[in-house]
Structure 1
Amino acid sequence: MYSLEEANTYIKTTSSQVNNYYRHTYHVMAPVGWINDPNGFIYFKGEYHLFYQYYPYKTQWGPMHWGHVKSKDLINWENAPVALAPDQTYDKDGCFSGTAIEKDGKMYLMYTGHIEGRRPEDVRQVQCMAVSDDGIHFEKVEQNPVISEEDLPDNAKPQDFRDPKVLKHGECYYSLIASKAKEGGGQILLYKSKDLLDWEFVSVLLKGEKDEGPMWECPDLFELNGKDVLIISVEGLPAKENNFTNTHSVLSIIGKMDWEKGIFNKEVVEELDYGMDFYAPQTISDNKNRRVMISWMQMWGRNIPTHTEGHGWAGAMTLPRELVIKSNHLYQRPIPEVKKYYTNNHKMSDIILSNEKKDLSELSCEVGVLELDIDVAKGQHFDLDLRSHEKEKTILSYDCQSGMLKLDRKQSGVALIGKEPEPVYQRAIQLNPQNHHLKLEIYLDRASVEVFVNEGEYTLTSTIYPTQKSDGIAVCAEGDIHILRIEKWNIEV
């Protein structure tokens, strides 16, 4: 087994040795080692706390710890000591994902204890609690595991039972836990408790169909703008046209939660992000009564250059996003606190391109944000080259006739090859071609691009790994493209 002291000592002695070439400026990363799912996202005693699945000793997945950062503004993050290590018999092979909640002025972490077996059928996953007065130092409760195999319904497999989402509704605490049904397929189980320690099974909150993936993970449930929203991360969801082309996908399900029956009634099901690197998001309601989301900005089943090239670290989180519902659709907007770190503004207006390419060297940007308002009424197609240099570039393109917006990273730099049947170098989202006005916000960091379309109606999130100092910007137009405004800021934290 592992220990907190061992992990924190290792980080202290090795974090200065990582290669900083692709290290982000304003995205959460671990100081050294491997990072995946965000965990325990919470606003507690005046600060935002974010934990994450963490293996400090290698740049590959291993026995999971909980890494920890905190911030006053969601942008400038400070590393805190590792919060949880797999140091008990019930979590000896990993402290898997979970969430946080405040009770009586204390922070409680609910997480999954992972126990390997000699055979796959011997694996067990149980739910555990840890508590802290200061949000930094945690004690695992004596009652652990607080939910175990004996508390499962008959149709749930004890080998796949993880990622508890803990919340309060009325006078009770509830936990949504991802599960695999014995006959196959994902489902979300609902438990309730009066004290966070003694739990009882309530219901199968939602059960997947055969074509909705073999396993669901990392559930989240919240009320927003008069609707209930269930977010689930899905392994192996079959591709459908432009949707679900990654090995793992994230679904936003808008509907209504029936708390009396313990059932979620679906109304609208959509993919949450249309990029190539977005998984396992968590949300919170903060002190400003906003619903804020953050996600792992990576994808399972693909090479990660900072691992393969020996940089000593792997993985990062997205820019935090504020969520709102409009017309029964979940919008994601960049958290406004990021604007505090904008510098070096440059603006250009009223650019008309007619079957030509224009280099916009005045707007060159490696770490920053671009905002564009574009009139495409008389256009056929345009390419926006981002992070370009000689043969390298990331392309955001739009077909004005079909309304198809694509993000293509085939020429971005280091090739990213995955386990998909066909390499996924680009992803696309279908927009309304009758809307001739396109608004884009594009956030760039050392190794990432996040595109917010039409004030957050859709997003495309992807990592990129340029091999050179690629910061060029260019636009290539077919037909007449009218850029009403294009504005750039650098971001410095």
Structure 2
Amino acid sequence: MPPVGWMNDPNGFVYYNGEYHLFYQFYPYDSKWGPMHWGHSKTKDFIHWEELPTALAPDETYDKDGCFSGSAIEKDGKLYLMYTGHVVENGKVTQTQCVAVSEDGVHFTKHKANPVIGKNEIGEYGLIQDFRDPKVIEKDGIYYSVVASKTADERGLILLYKSSDLIDWTFYSVLLEGKPEQGIMWECPDLFYLDGKDVLIMSPIQMTPQGIEYHNTSSTAVFIGEMDWEKGTLKVDNIHEIDYGLDFYAPQTLTDDQGRRIMVAWMQMWGRTLPTDELRHGWAGSMTLPRELGIKENKLYQKPVSEIYNFIEIKETNTDFTIQDEVLEFESHVTKNQYYKLKVDTHENKNFSLLLLGTENAGLVVSYNKDTQLLTLSRDNYGYKITGDEKEHLTQRQVGIKEAVFELEIFMDKSAIEVFVNNEKTMTFTFYGEANESNLKIYSEGLLKVLSLESGSVEV
């Protein structure tokens, strides 16, 4: 969470000089969105974060109305930030790409050549008023930057730029162009190679719902395929939603010294009311737990970053028991950073649910229906009401599980929950309830075989 004020997109997520740095969209003067700064934190273990001085502030003619999202990369021992300068004049928006450089990873100087990608470089390929979120990568000694834009008829567009020094950039290609049902704008692109596949993640605005996917006003999607670097285009084999929750946006990844691809995202959603602002708590927004990524069978797999297990203390373990047409309450140790790991066999089950907080009719509930093979996470009627821009008031989301035997891993604190399903799919929610602590209750219709249940806490 930010020390104060407003937080949104993760920016400049990078491994630098033996530490993980996370920059983020930051407005320090209110718990509402305002002229964007870049906040800055670093960590060695993803649990304990050190807050650093604000890295960027909107103080130049080319970024006077905001230093919007971007990325970071190391070159010759220096840390380079690439970000979007946002300017509004006479009601017209101009967005250009800019660079700031640091010798120590803390104090940054904006480059005199800014903006380094502007009107000349975008040309006729995109719209200068919607041209943002550069993610810079290096391949074979050449730097590339993927930048989000849109077409004149409001379809998503990812542009690719090329440079030898991070300062002089030329247009290289239209990497990918969206279909009408894939949203009116693609934000926060990130391109990387993982497990034999080229992967593009992005955050589409107003993507058309498809089955259980893309029901939020703004979504996140992964495009998996193969890059043609000669043409600078991505041939897409599979597309699916990244997270099946209500509060997950603008994910960004890094590669560390262990070769892991790690992702973090803003744990919030545009168009939603924010109780911490409405209740004058002085802050708004937070980040997800970092997640290690993999690709299997053209699908994105996500699991909690391994470091977190160094801080999990298991308080209670139960194995090989059954629940049949009854409610079982576990008088487990309840903490402010709750952890559950549950493995179940649903072959003889009709449906079951886990009541985590509140009551069955007004609570935080995870439930599974064997007939539909859908897992549902709901905050219906629980706590402070959260509304959004969606046509229907969303209080729950669903994810499909085809396996009869599956594992759920749940991380929950006082205002957020992240559910990992079989170390593949995820569901991320915020909630703002009373400080009432309750024991875990499991409801089952039919026979539920619980192979294992661990309850504990993340000790920070």
- For residue 449 of structure 1, the aligned residue among 417, 434, 438 is 417
In 1: Cα distance, 2:234 partner to 2:271 partner: 31
Decide whether the 8 Å contact of 2:72 with 2:80 is kept in 1.
yes
The answer on whether the counterparts of 1:392 and 1:466 sit within 8 Å (CA) in structure 2 is: no
Alpha carbons 2:125, 2:174 under 8 Å: kept:
no
Which amino acid in the other structure matches residue 97 of structure 1? S
User: In structure 1, the residue corresponding to 2:181 is in which secondary structure?
Assistant: coil
Runs in 1 of length 4+ with deviation above 6 angstroms? none
SS of the residue 1:211 aligns to: helix
Is 1:124 the equivalent of 2:124? no
Match of 2:211 in 1: 241
Give the drift of 1:389.
Answer: 6.2
| Residue identity matched to 1:113 | G
Q: Is residue 488 of structure 1 aligned with residue 455 of structure 2?
A: yes
**CA distance in structure 1 between the partners assigned to 2:399 and 2:16 by the alignment:** 37
- Structure 1 residues 470, 118: CA separation in 2 closer, same or farther (over 3 Å shift)? farther
- Name the CA distance, whole Å, in 2 between partners of 1:126 and 1:471: 50
Q: Match for residue 22 of structure 2?
A: 50
Q: State the Cα distance separating 1:241 from its structure 2 match.
A: 2.0
The code of the aligned residue for 1:491 comes to V
Asked if 1:291 corresponds to 2:261, the answer is yes
- 2:405 is aligned with what amino acid? H
CA contact (8 A) 1:164 1:219 kept: yes
SS in 1 for 2:39: strand
Could you say which residue in structure 2 is the equivalent of 1:112? 84
Please say if residues 358 and 475 of structure 1, whose CA atoms lie closer than 8 Å, have aligned partners that are also in contact: yes
Contact kept in structure 2, 1:295 and 1:318, CA below 8 Å: yes
1:184 aligned residue: 154
State whether structure 2 residue 194 is matched by structure 1 residue 194.
no
SS of residue matched to 1:137: coil
For residue 383 of structure 1, what is the amino acid of its counterpart? Answer: S
Distance of 1:403 and 1:345 partners within structure 2: 31
In the alignment, the residues of structure 1 paired with residue 153 and residue 441 of structure 2 have an alpha-carbon distance, to the nearest angstrom, of 52
- Which residue does 2:223 correspond to in 1? 253
Aligned equivalent of 1:458: 425
List alignment gaps of at least 5 residues for structure 1.
1-28
Q: Provide the alpha-carbon RMSD of the alignment.
A: 1.2
Provide Cα deviations, 1:238-286, integer angstroms capped at 9, x if missing partner.
1122111100000011100111101011000000000000000000010
Q: 1:159 aligns with which of 129, 139, 144?
A: 129
Letter in 2 for 1:50: L
Whole-Å Cα distance in 2 between the matches of residues 230 and 189 of structure 1? 12
Match of 1:168 among 127, 138, 153: 138
1:75 aligns with 2:35: no
Q: Residue by residue, what CA displacement relative to the aligned partner does 1:403-442 show, whole Å, maximum 9, x if unpaired? A: 111001113311111111110110001221xx22020000
- 2:62 paired residue among 90, 113, 130: 90
Instruction: Show CA shifts across 1:19-70 (max 9, x none).
Output: xxxxxxxxxx100000000000000001100000000101111000000000
Could you tell me how far 1:351 is from its partner in structure 2?
A: 2.3
- The aligned residue for residue 104 of structure 2 is 134
Question: Aligned letter for 1:426?
Answer: Q
Counterpart residue identity of residue 445, structure 1: D
Do residues 345 (structure 1) and 315 (structure 2) align?
yes
Tell whether 2:444 aligns with 1:474. Answer: no
CA contact (8 A) 1:388 1:473 kept: no
Give the residue type in structure 1 aligned to 2:447.
D
Cα distance in 2 for partners of 1:374, 1:366 equals 25
- 8 Å contact from structure 1 (residues 365, 471) kept in 2: no
2:404 corresponds in structure 1 to: 436
Q: Partner residue of 1:375? A: 345
CA distance in 1, matches of 2:440, 2:20: 35
Note the alpha carbon deviations across 1:183-213, whole angstroms, 9 max, x for none. Answer: 3211000000000000000111000011111
- The alpha carbon displacement at 1:470 in A equals 2.9
Paired residue type of 2:23: F
- Using structure 2 for the length normalisation, give the TM-score: 0.98
Task: Measure how far apart 1:106 and its partner are.
Answer: 0.3
Matching of residue 38 in structure 1 with residue 10 in structure 2: yes
The whole-number CA distance in structure 2 between the counterparts of 1:229 and 1:75 is 27
Identity of aligned residues (%): 49
Equivalent residue of 1:298, what SS? coil
Q: Residue 308 of structure 2: SS of its match in structure 1?
A: helix
Distance between the aligned counterparts of 1:459 and 1:390, measured in 2? Answer: 22
TM-score, length-normalised on structure 1?
0.92
Higher mean alpha-carbon deviation, 249-258 vs 347-356, is at: 347-356
**Structure 2 letter corresponding to 1:447:** S
Whether the 8 Å CA contact 2:414–2:435 is kept in 1: the answer is no
2:120 counterpart of 1:150: yes
Is the 2:315–2:332 contact (alpha carbons within 8 Å) kept by the matching residues of 1?
Answer: no
Match of 2:292 in 1: 322
Cα contact 1:389–1:470 (8 A) shared by 2: no
User: Secondary structure at the residue paired with 1:232?
Assistant: strand
Gaps (5+ residues) in structure 2? none
Structure 2 counterpart of 1:164, one-letter code:
P
Deviations 1:122-150 (Å, cap 9, x if unpaired)? 21000000000110000000000001112
Pairwise CA distance, 1:359: 1.0
- Number of positions where the alignment pairs a residue of Structure 1 with one of Structure 2: 460
